[in-house]
Structure 1
Amino acid sequence: MTGYDVLAEVYEWLISDAKLPPAEFAASFDDVLSLLPSNAHVLDCSCGTGQLAVGLAGRGMRVVATDASEAMVRRTAELSEEFGACVRAVRANWEELPDHFEDDTFDMVFCVGNSLHHAAGATGRGAALESMSRLLRPGGRLVLTSRTWELVRARGSRLDIRDRLVRRNGRDAVVVYRWEIAPHWEDEHHIEIAIAQVDATGLVLVRSELLSCWPYRYEELEVELHRVGLRTEVSTFDLEAENYMVVASKV
């Protein structure tokens, strides 16, 4: 796992305009949320700065938010306080989740924001999925979003500089991704993310973090979900699309 502790302070520049307001982020999952009772018990186990968790709490759900980064958990707690939302924020990586929560606890578990690839290889990914499955009640659902790694690897190592400034809190920034694509799927890959903030005087402040990741094919993910007792109900996987979502229910 990697921590995002540096990027946590500027993570809002990585969130799209449409998903920055908590209510709008939650609304992007309206289709799956319609399957839940109003007081559902929900876990966001890669919560980032808390936009989704706070949005879900705003709908009356009982929400727990976890992240491997202490800084992300702190920012989630701060956002919850700002919105007056009741969110329990806990620092925990995926493997530690069963140490904090009983099995069969949650109606829905979210693992979104392209986070699963930070689990270390097939073994780490399997352990992460096993932990998430354990915490779901029978019939509960895992909602997972992922990059289309088949597409990412086909493009090879590269520098991706976003073509426009992003404005947050009255400040502009340029977002840069540097991809290090390893020779083989099972090898450790790297993404360096840099956020270059530009102030009113033209001064540039750069924050960057080098993140490890282990990509996976969609077909591998399907097998791993089945192995931990989850059955795919919905999949938006498309080899030509940048990202996809999978909704899988616990058998």
Structure 2
Amino acid sequence: MAGYGALSEVYEWLIGDDKLTPAQAASAYCTDVVGPLPPDTRVLDCSCGTGQLAVGLAGLGLDVVAADASEGMVRRTERLAGEQGVPLRTLRASWDQLPGHLEDSTFDLVFCVGNSLGHAEGAAGRLAALEAMARLLKPGGRLVLTSRNWELVRSAGSRVDVRDRLIRRNDRDAVVSYYWQIEQGWEQEHFLEIVVARIEPDREVRAISERLSIWPYRYEDLVAQLRSVGLTVRSTTFDPEADNYVVVTGRDQEH
């Protein structure tokens, strides 16, 4: 489930231009998704990646914990926080391990973004992840989750997607490609291989790749699992024809 060992080195080539800096990443959610947050808000980013969102939120004065199952991602988040001069706590842990490190009912807001939930192992692994996130939320707290539209991903079948333009990061260009291995059944383990072919200063091409396990899910099944752990959908951008969506849920007071 961890993955992103090799890709942590070149992950910036996989981040959209609109969320590339900490300020952009925080603004994308604090402006459009959850609204302004008071400085005492306690936030968990439980799939922090290279830290753009977590560091951006910490830069707004929020009390932030950044967690990821990938050691490489946690190291990059720590480095970014140091470069930006903002305090935050980092934690290497998978979703199901989080309650062993953090107290229940202590976070106002939990983020699980970057299409990360598809790496949870099947329905049982996904349910365990959502249950852990729900436990950490205060009553009335919110979980913000982003996801690929797995219905669309599966309908397109196995394929190679090569991005149609060079992506420039840190004064270097790269070509990014995705190889999807789509299986017959929803419950089967699927695979996604991501290749970042980076053009080095000497014009050599250095390709860094990683094969990731994916367990896709239907939107309706995600909503059912959210409800089963005491989370109610407050807003959603799900559209059967759109590639990605955002779901904002709230923890039921009585759960």
Deviations 1:49-78 (A, max 9, x none): 000000001111000000000110000000
Aligned to 1:250: 251
| 2:16 maps to 1:13 | no
Q: Which amino acid aligns with 1:94?
A: W
Unaligned 5+ segments in structure 1 are none
Aligned to 1:194: 195
Matched position secondary structure for 2:86? coil
Aligned to 2:233: 232
Task: For residue 35 of structure 1, report the CA deviation from its aligned partner.
Answer: 5.8
CA distance in 2, matches of 1:214, 1:199: 34
Task: For residue 33 of structure 1, report the CA deviation from its aligned partner.
Answer: 3.6
CA distance in 1, matches of 2:180, 2:240: 19
Asked if structure 1 preserves the Cα contact closer than 8 Å seen for 2:104 and 2:137, the reply is yes
Q: Which amino acid aligns with 1:20?
A: L
Asked if structure 1 preserves the Cα contact closer than 8 Å seen for 2:146 and 2:246, the reply is yes
Matched position secondary structure for 1:28? helix
Q: Which amino acid aligns with 1:49?
A: T
Matched position secondary structure for 1:244? strand
| 2:112 maps to 1:111 | yes
CA distance in 1, matches of 2:20, 2:53: 9
Q: Which moved more, 1:181-190 or 1:34-43?
A: 34-43
| 2:23 maps to 1:23 | yes
Asked if structure 2 preserves the Cα contact closer than 8 Å seen for 1:43 and 1:106, the reply is yes
Aligned pair in 2 of structure 1 residues 35, 249: CA closer, same or farther (>3 Å)? farther
Matched position secondary structure for 1:191? strand
Aligned to 2:94: 93
Matched position secondary structure for 1:183? coil
Asked if structure 1 preserves the Cα contact closer than 8 Å seen for 2:147 and 2:244, the reply is yes
CA distance in 2, matches of 1:75, 1:209: 17
Deviations 1:83-117 (A, max 9, x none): 00111111000000000001001000000000000
Q: What TM-score comes out, normalization by structure 2 length?
A: 0.97
Task: For residue 246 of structure 1, report the CA deviation from its aligned partner.
Answer: 0.2
Aligned residues: 251
CA distance in 2, matches of 1:3, 1:201: 30
Q: What TM-score comes out, normalization by structure 1 length?
A: 0.98
Task: For residue 153 of structure 1, report the CA deviation from its aligned partner.
Answer: 0.4
Task: For residue 34 of structure 1, report the CA deviation from its aligned partner.
Answer: 2.3
Task: For residue 187 of structure 1, report the CA deviation from its aligned partner.
Answer: 0.3
Asked if structure 1 preserves the Cα contact closer than 8 Å seen for 2:2 and 2:94, the reply is no
Task: For residue 201 of structure 1, report the CA deviation from its aligned partner.
Answer: 3.0
Asked if structure 1 preserves the Cα contact closer than 8 Å seen for 2:191 and 2:211, the reply is yes
